């Protein structure tokens, strides 16, 4: 019997991770006027990055719940 895959994002403490496509990533970089390596880093081995199959060089959008702002958006650059 095959193992049931565990969904990390069903946990309340794990924020939503979205893998950006190339166009979305370029728009984010242009909006902030930065290069990808200037974003905070996340390792490709991070459970959240692995769950969305992110690879080195990708940009991930992370959406967290915020008591003051409603939601907080952060971007991370995937590194080895």
- For residue 37, CA distances in Å to 7, 56, 72, 76 come to 29, 11, 21, 9
Q: Would you say residue 1 has pLDDT above 70?
A: no
Average pLDDT over residues 51-72: 94
Q: Would you say residue 40 has pLDDT above 70?
A: yes
What is the full DSSP assignment across 25-67? HHHHHHHHT--GGGSPEEETTSHHHHHTT--TT-EEEEEEEET
**Please, what are the domains in the chain?**
15-79 (3.90.940.20)
Q: Would you say residue 41 has pLDDT above 90?
A: yes
């Amino acid at each position: 019997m095959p193992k049931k895959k565990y969904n990390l994002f069903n946990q309340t403490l794990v924020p939503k991770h979205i893998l950006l496509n190339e166009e979305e990533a370029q728009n984010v970089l242009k909006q902030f006027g930065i290069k990808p390596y200037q974003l905070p880093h996340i390792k490709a081995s991070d459970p959240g990055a692995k769950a969305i199959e992110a690879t080195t060089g990708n940009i991930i959008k992370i959406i967290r719940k915020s008591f003051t702002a409603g939601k907080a958006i952060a971007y991370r650059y995937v590194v080895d």
